[in-house]
Structure 1
Amino acid sequence: MTKILNRIKIDKIGYGGVGLARMSDGKRILIKWGALPGSIVDLKIVKQRKDYVEAHITRVQELDPKIVDGKIFCPHFFSLLSSNEENTKPRKIGCWGCKWQMLSYGNQLKLKEDIVNDAFTKIKRKLPDLQVLTIIGSPQEKNYRNKIEFSFGKYITNILKDWNVETLKDEKKKELNVLSDRSVGFHKQGEFSKIIDIDNCGLISDEANAIFQHIKGLCTTSGLPVHDQMTHQGFFRHLVIREGTNTQQFLINLAVADNDLTGEKIQKWDTLLETFKQDVFLKEKITSFVITYNNSLADVVKSEECRTVTFRGEWSIYEALKFQVSPDSKIENREEDWTITATFRVSPFSFFQTNTLWAQQLFTQAMKMVGNIEGTILDLYCGTGTIGISFLKVGKGNKLVGIEIVEEAIRDAWYNAKINGVENKVTFLANPAEKAFTKTPEIRNKLNNLGLVIIDPPRDGLHKNVVEMICDIKKESDFKLLYISCNPVTMVRDIELLVAWGFTIKEIQPVDMFPQTHHIECIWVLT
């Protein structure tokens, strides 16, 4: 039997935005789905563990006014707060993406800083002098994302239960059902097969929203069916929009399933393609328009499982990162205002930092923390070479060796090195970081004058082989280690491992790349 807990106070927030509380017997409760510290909530236990239970919030009874002091800016925001007047109005049920928009930005930053400090509690005795610096906020609190992926799908009458649908007239019910049968938006939290219909998203730019609304309108009125997550039938699957924040370029990737495109559907698709081609708005706004034919069962857009063609314009767009350099710098190709610009190709499936303006600040802060760098830079999770090439452009290091598991990213890295004029200073290899030396042992010969190792690993942190490899290199070279982390839990684990091998660390710099969410990044340098 499902157990309900009433009026439980959330004590604090941990990594991943998980709320932490205790039952009357002292047993820990881990709370998902929109937890905020100081809130009084009703819970449904979903998993029983030996030392704790996992629960979902069913209703928020009270919020702490000292913490929850922000203004809701998104028309799709949804909370479970019983006293929230906004939830008594007919509105589209929320996508749950920006769970922290009820908090002022100052309180968001404080919570994230607290999460980092809490993560270090268990190793404070081992590292009493370690200092967590004041978090650096994002230049933008909204409209900061340069990439977004919308899904097409169906989400019919059950989304209307919170709207008091029984009181609506039959005509209104029919209208709502028709609209929801053509949903374009985000997956409903906890019910992946259902799509929340979105009119706009407050995390992307006004220009990106205008493009989304325009293409959404053309697709949903074309007569072609949207994809059904349960039956795996339907045509429209995803719409990906990528923006060059500093270049004002836009890339559109429309993913469709054409395995049952026959008869009348072919005619409708041809008509829509011609509309896309002749559309004046799209001609003015879009640099790159590609179409991905994806007939796989997986609800993701992966290049290796699809066929992607350039429909109009270029295959890719470009983004630029700008860095200030000192007036006494001898770096060539600087601009009159002492700015260095690094340019990067952004193709349909390549990775690029999601918040462009903050990527500039993140890299700038990292450059300050590492100080002067001579010799070679080794980047063990280099992606498309963004951070390593940026370091070379501002005079940090004179050679770059990049390791990355994704071959497509390595191809982009080579291209990015060429357009930035550093192709003669780089070596990129497609290998897993943990096997970099065993698969290509000759790489050690390129690290004789190693000055900096950069690691920006996935959320799982460092593989044990990577830790051993770094520490083995440390015996031969006196280099600095720059670690950029998106997970405070694995960050603390990796710090403990590296310090045990003889590295030293003085400070951690938390940074916020994703306002309105629980996500947090940290930068630290070991010597």
Structure 2
Amino acid sequence: MTSVRPDDQPPELAELDLLDEIGPLGDCLADFEDGRINVFGGIPGERVVARIVRYRRRRKRMVSGLVHEVIEASPHRVPAPCQYFGACTGCQWQHVSYSHQLVLKRGYVERNVSEYPALSSSDIEPCIPAPSLYGYRNHARFTIRREGSPGFVNRITRRFVQTDECMLMAPGINRLADDLKGRAQETSQLSIRYGINTDDWLIQPKLKSKDIALESGQSHYTEELLGHTFRIASPSFFQVNTEQAERLAELVAETLELSGRESVVDAYAGVGTFAILLAGSAKRIITIEESAAAIRDAASNASGIENVEFIERKTEDVLDSMEARPDAVILDPPRSGCHPTVLEALIRLAPERTVYVSCDPEALARDLDVLVRGGFSIQSVRPIDMFPQTHHVETVALLGRI
């Protein structure tokens, strides 16, 4: 049950000094009453007047702040271009200059890594910028209200914000959403996935209204990366930034420096992006993925590539029973990080090179600590910005054996 202050009551305001630290949701932090609260819309070091929002989540009392007025502005503050910024909390940092967004993202990775003594000497490289700051997302999840119009829900107030467009979405997604406006009453949630390089799309769920001319309910769509066509089923994971996904794949290849003689394990492989793009640089690639839909996609995507093997099982089960030592391992786990058994197996197998791709610096630091204490050394840590205007950051770490 969630409750917030009704609109007809005057807002509760408080003057706050924003701390230097960024919280895990991308908000600033500030001392307030007897604790510390998240404050949306600020920049570290600013003094602001914030609207205080008190609410309950999962029977727990919560307090957050929304910047109402800036008293002392950061030099990194810029006008947010989106008319919905603040009402919609999907973007956290439109008001932050892009150069400073990169500094904040590197700092967030560094702060998490530095919490572990075994990682204290690790050097965090500058964050690789994204070429497109808006219009990059290939996947949108909309909330649909009764009148059939798409929008998003503010994560603090839980209020619905109807939107005519989202500036982060690829133009093709905004076009499809506009075609569905006022016609999608039959569902409360709508997912649109779009092939930026193919103009292919997938809309779920299937919409049965005769007023909707668009095809929906597709089982999959296609996208192109670095000259390869990838089939992506509705349940399968795929990076939301197609343009930067190509740079990520190139970065993994550059980091591994394969010679063509190596045996490689691609763990948590999804639709096979890394394995397929690296197949020409390795002797053999073993691809591990527990999702049946994703492994079917991967096998289809690798049609004609003979040195890629697919295993549909949990990564921890496969690595735990693996006896032959691979030359290199790619880890690209979900946000929660690697299963402890995966880390134990890696320590036992001791591959020469391990590349860990992570979307959560906290989970990455936790897992790197285990691996370093188990005999690995960190050779590089490179953040890459897959999500401009948000606090999210991808990180590519290279580990070797001591």
- Same fold per superposition (TM over 0.5): yes
Counterpart in the other structure of 1:88: none
Residue 242 to residue 131, structure 1, CA distance change in 2 (3 Å): same
Q: Is the 8 A contact 1:142 1:202 kept in 2?
A: yes
Matched, 1:484 2:357: yes
Q: Which residue of 2 aligns with 1:290?
A: 216
Alignment partner of 1:62 is 2:28: no
Aligned-pair distance for 1:213? Answer: 0.7
2:384 maps to what in 1? 511
SS of 2:298's partner is helix
Q: Which residue of 2 aligns with 1:120?
A: 113
Measured after TM superposition, the shift of residue 316 of structure 1 is 3.0
Q: Which runs of 5+ in 2 are unaligned?
A: 6-11
> Contact 2:40–2:67 at 8 Å: present in 1 too?
no
Give, in angstroms, the shift of residue 23 of structure 1: 5.1
Deviation, 1:505, is 0.8
Report the aligned-residue RMSD. 2.7
User: 308, 316, 321: which is aligned to 2:220?
Assistant: 316
- Tell me what 2:89 maps to: 96
Q: 1:252 to 1:111 in 2, by over 3 A?
A: same
In the other structure, the counterpart of 1:210 is 175
Q: Would you say 1:130 and 2:132 are equivalent positions?
A: no
Residue 296 of structure 2 corresponds to residue 429 of structure 1: no
C-alpha separation in 1, matches of 2:194 and 2:209: 27
- One-letter amino acid of the counterpart of residue 292, structure 2: E
Alpha-carbon distance between aligned partners in 2 of 1:63 and 1:371, rounded to the nearest angstrom: 50
Looking at structure 1, the residues matched to 290 and 71 of structure 2 have their Cα atoms a distance apart, in angstroms, of 45
| DSSP 3-state at the match of 2:44 | coil
Matched residue of 2:386: which SS?
coil
Q: Deviations over 1:84-115 (max 9, x none)?
A: xxxxxxxxxx2211121111211211111221
Question: How much has 1:145 moved relative to structure 2?
Answer: 0.5
Which of 244, 248, 268 matches 1:381?
Answer: 268
After superposition, give the CA deviation of every residue in 1:445-486 in whole Å (9 maximum; x if it has no partner): 6x45x2211111122212211110111111xxx421000111
1:128 and 1:118, CA in 2 relative to 1: closer, same or farther beyond 3 A?
Answer: closer
CA contact (8 A) 2:172 2:199 kept: no
Equivalent residues in 2 for 1:39-54 (5 A)? 39=46, 40-42=48-50, 44=52
Equivalent in the alignment of 1:499: 372
Match of 1:342 in 2: 228
CA distance in 1, matches of 2:387, 2:165: 18
Distance in 2 of aligned mates of 1:32 and 1:466: 37
Of 360, 368, 374 in structure 1, the residue corresponding to residue 254 of structure 2 is: 368
| C-alpha distance in 1 between matches for 2:203 and 2:209 | 18
Matches of 2:75 and 2:84 in 1, distance apart?
22
Count of residues in Structure 1 that have an aligned counterpart in Structure 2: 383
TM-score (norm 2): 0.86
2:376 match: secondary structure: coil
Q: Which of 84, 92, 100 is 1:107 aligned to?
A: 100
Alpha-carbon distance change, 45 to 101 in structure 1, aligned in 2, over 3 angstroms = closer
Which residue is 1:244 aligned to? 195
* Rounded Cα–Cα distance in structure 2 between residues aligned with 1:345 and 1:190: 36
**Contact 1:397 1:451 (C-alpha < 8 Å) held by counterparts:** no
The C-alpha deviation readout for 1:216-260, integer Å capped at 9, x for no partner, is 24x16xxxxx3xxxxxxxx2333322221222323333445xxxx
Q: Distance in 2 between matches of 1:216 and 1:197?
A: 10
- The residue aligned with 1:451 is 327
The secondary structure found in structure 1 opposite 2:107 is: helix
What is the identity percentage for the equivalent residue pairs of Structure 1 and Structure 2? 30
Output the CA distance in 2 between the equivalents of 1:398 and 1:67: 51
Q: Which residue of 2 aligns with 1:74?
A: 82
* Residue number in structure 2 paired with 1:412: 297
- Maintained 8 Å contact 2:150/2:163: yes
- Whether contact under 8 Å (2:331, 2:356) holds in the other structure is yes
Q: What corresponds to 1:465 in structure 2?
A: 341
| Residue equivalent to 1:201 | 166
Larger % of helix: which? 1
* CA shift in 2, pair 1:30/1:488, >3 Å: farther
Q: Is the 8 A contact 2:267 2:331 kept in 1?
A: yes
**Contact 1:461-1:494 at 8 Å conserved across structures:** yes
Larger CA Rg, structure 1 vs 2: 1
Structure 2 Cα separation of the partners of residues 238 and 31 of structure 1: 27
**Secondary structure at 2:25's aligned position in 1?**
helix
**1:75 Cα deviation from its structure 2 partner:** 2.2
CA distance in 1, matches of 2:204, 2:278: 31
User: Which stretches in structure 1 are left out of the alignment for 5+ residues?
Assistant: 79-93, 155-180, 221-225, 227-234, 257-268, 277-281, 283-288, 292-309, 323-340
Q: Which residue of 1 aligns with 2:14?
A: 6
Q: Are residues 456 and 252 of structure 1, via their aligned partners in 2, closer, same or farther at CA, if it must alter by over 3 Å? A: same
TM-score computed with the length of structure 1 as normaliser: 0.67
Q: CA deviation at 1:54?
A: 6.0
Change (3 A) 1:270 1:239: closer
Output one character per residue of 1:131-162: Cα deviation in whole Å (capped at 9) or x when no partner.
Answer: 111111111000000111222124xxxxxxxx
* 1:501 to partner: Cα distance: 0.5
